[in-house]
Structure 1
Amino acid sequence: MIYVNGVHFLSDSSSLEGYDMVIALLEHPYLVSASRSLCAIPERKFSVSEESGSESSVQTKCVYVFQREYAIVDPALVEVVGTDEATTCVGIVIRNRKSGMTSIAHLDSPSVVDIGLSQMLSLVSDYDDNDDAILDVHLVGAFEDSAPQGNYDPGSDPYSEIEGYSLPLCIKIVQLLAEHKVTFQIQNFQVLKHNTRWDSEGNAYPIFHGLLVETSSGSAVPASFDRSTRCPDEIIRRIRLGASFEDPRWTGRLLEAYETQTDRFVITPFSWSMRQVRIASLMRHRSDKEILLTTSTSPSAEGPDFVDTQKRVWEYLIQHPDWREVFTAKLPRVFNRTANNNWVMSMEI
């Protein structure tokens, strides 16, 4: 069930389809006001250097998720959650008002929304004891990647007629939230036209690529992260995304690496194919423009480090073609948080 400003969103419009619900949410006065307020907040540039004056300083306890990942955090152990690099993707945070348990995911396709939402809710809402739980929801990302100057023309069937990636993803998310028995209070709906800016030539770009939410208060701000805070095990987790498309075990599922109870990251062994290595060998010689056009759903809207990140992933694959060299004895890669809230790889499981 979707609620906005304490009122059941579909109380007088239960016949709305997914597309119409998205449009109605975009036009809801409360969410329009929330979008304006969010746009007035300067984007928080989250980095180790800014978080700490020196290497010995204690940094913010943060959990970051990459594309198609999710994590559930305990507010007693983690201060903030975040994600960025979203263009046609959606960063979504679901927080239990009573317990403060917070779930974050980076959704990149309608195909992962069904199972993905169940994964996100597994420790946030206990169906046996918390049927009356109120879950606050923040969504940021998914700009207007196909609609000319923000004017939709959905046709008779939104799923078959709508071009682009952003709108079908938003439709799927909203439909599932509306159908669920849990109470979802949407606090921020910073997607599509609320998250789109236009240049003088009519090209669309995202206003924000990410968000950060405080687990204690539930407050959300637009955010971007640098390489020092997209951790731990950045490259391996990025490679895992590509490998997941070739592994049927991950079909329709979000990827997990963070352990809620232990506050550590555990990347279980996975393999990458020689096909991925061959692609890496070919792609690293292509121009930046070719890389963007080949690997991005929104080539003109990616961040400045997108191409460099792709090249670092490919270089790693070329230097480590055998996954068994990375997962010694086929054991997980375990990362524990230090006293200063950095991450260190552990030999213990």
Structure 2
Amino acid sequence: MPLLTQNKQIERVNSTAELFSKYPHLKETAKQFVSRSPEPVDPGQLLFIQQREFASTTPADNSVSILGSDDATTCHFVVLRHTGSGATCLAHCDGSSTCTEVPLIVDAVTSKSNPAKDGRLELHLVGGFDDDRKTSHSLSLSILDAFQKQKEDIHLETCCITDMNDVITEGIHRPVVYGMGVNVKTGHMFPALFTCRGPAEELRSARTISGGQMVEVYDSSRELVRIGPCSWTPNSDMAFWLSQDDEAVLQFLSTSPHAEPPHFVQHIKSTIQFLLDHPTADELFPDGQPQLYRRSEEGHWKRV
């Protein structure tokens, strides 16, 4: 029985409403999570995770104390942690290939945990909202279903998703929590605010917008951020979007146009400009080698 809550197996459900009805304690913990004010994160302790990325590490890491991600509307944050080893993984999932992504998340944590050591796998899900297209609802159920299929016992501790992460403002549904962080030293999880989304923010965004699949971006054994190599096809037609107004970009390039954060349009346009400036990715990865970044003494990620 792989997916449990309060040491009882979670039954498969047809909706998030049914889930919270059957397991009201999950509803209560979600209410507690969304009631907390977002905490600012020190960039010198942070490894930021972008959409379709994941990273994992342990409390012994000298370069990373916080794993964090933001800008989730219909997307979901998935945090899996082993309470014995403290090994922790954070993923930013958008539904592109949930069934293949969840095993990667599980393996990232179990491979860093001693099976003989006391502890258990605890799962925390945050994200989505009650969007008109029901994209969040579908993703919530697909993530739950994917974890149901894992062979390991996994305990669902936080389930702040879709219905429970929704607020109506001026008649429009929006997420309450757009960003979250997890302290890998203590296991503390919290709504979060970020001022830094690097390293290589535009490159990583370009990989995602070009159709890149979920990828691990951190080598915890060497404490290095590892980006690429990746590739994309030249597409000058994208320049069209640079001349469009905000409303057009939101309507056609977002899964939730009325709920995006204020910087969404600028982020999309800067990523498109990056792709136009780099029609192929070859020059970004000389000899087909990844870009590697190490934490500097000043606390920044510096390319090595």
Aligned to 2:104: 119
Contact kept, 8 Å, 1:93 with 1:137, in 2: the verdict is yes
Residue matched to 1:152: none
CA distance in 2, matches of 1:123, 1:82: 16
TM-score of the aligned structures, taking structure 2 as reference length: 0.91
Structure 2 counterpart of 1:205: 174
Distance verdict in 2 for CA 1:47–1:307, change over 3 Å: farther
Does the CA-based 8 Å contact 1:18-1:174 persist in structure 2? no
The aligned counterpart of 1:271 is: 231
Per the alignment, residue 175 of structure 1 pairs with: 145
Code of the aligned partner of 1:114? C
Q: Amino acid of the residue matched to residue 38 of structure 1? A: F
Check conservation: 1:132, 1:183, Cα contact below 8 A. Answer: no
Q: Find the structure with the greater CA-based Rg.
A: 1
DSSP 3-state at the match of 2:187: coil
- In structure 2, relative to structure 1, the CA distance for the partners of 1:339 and 1:188 (3 Å cut) is same
Return the alpha-carbon distance in structure 1 between the equivalents of residues 93 and 150 of structure 2.
18
Shift of 1:265: 1.1
2:254 is equivalent to residue 284 of structure 1: no
Structure 2: distance between partners of 1:193 and 1:213: 22
Q: Deviations over 1:150-204 (max 9, x none)?
A: xxxxxxxxxxxxx421111111111122232322222211111110001243x21
1:284 deviation in Å? Answer: 0.5
Deviation of the 1:327 alpha carbon: 2.1
Q: Are 1:189 and 2:159 an aligned pair?
A: yes
Q: Does 1:225 align with 2:177?
A: no
Partner of 1:81: 67
Which of 93, 99, 118 is equivalent to 1:107? 93
**Is 1:63–2:47 an aligned residue pair?**
yes
Matched, 1:240 2:207: yes
Gaps of at least 5 residues in structure 2 are none
Q: Which residue of 2 aligns with 1:9?
A: 9
- What residue in structure 1 maps to residue 128 of structure 2? 142
Partner-residue secondary structure (3-state), 1:123:
helix
Whole-angstrom CA distance in 2 between matches of 1:98 and 1:34:
22
Aligned residues: 299
Match of 2:277 in 1: 319
Letter in 2 for 1:121: V
1:287-327, Cα deviation, whole Å (9 max, x unpaired): 11111111100001000111111111122222222422322
Segment of structure 1 superposing worse, 210-219 or 90-99:
210-219
Task: Check if 1:19 corresponds to 2:14.
Answer: yes
CA contact (8 A) 1:133 1:182 kept: no
Unaligned runs of 5+ in 1: 11-15, 49-58, 147-162
Normalised TM-score (structure 1): 0.80
Q: Which residue matches 1:337?
A: 295
Q: SS in structure 2 opposite 1:262?
A: coil
Q: Partners of 1:113 and 1:240 in 2: how far apart?
A: 18
* More deviation, 167-176/32-41: 32-41
* Alpha-carbon distance change, 279 to 45 in structure 1, aligned in 2, over 3 angstroms: farther
- The question of whether the paired residues in 1 share the 8 Å contact of 2:17 and 2:163 is answered with no
Query: Is the contact between residue 81 and residue 109 of structure 2 (CA under 8 Å) also seen in structure 1?
Result: yes
What is the Cα deviation at residue 339 of structure 1?
2.0
SS in 2 for 1:144: coil
Could you tell me how far apart the structure 2 residues matched to 1:211 and 1:75 are? Answer: 18
Q: 2:39 maps to what in 1? A: 44
d(CA) in 2 for partners of 1:7 and 1:329? 51
Cα 1:132/1:172, change in 2 over 3 Å: farther
Distance 2:270 2:293 in 1: 21
- 1:13 alignment partner in structure 2: none
Comparing 288-297 with 309-318, greater Cα deviation is found at: 309-318
In 2, distance between residues paired with 1:90 and 1:303? 15
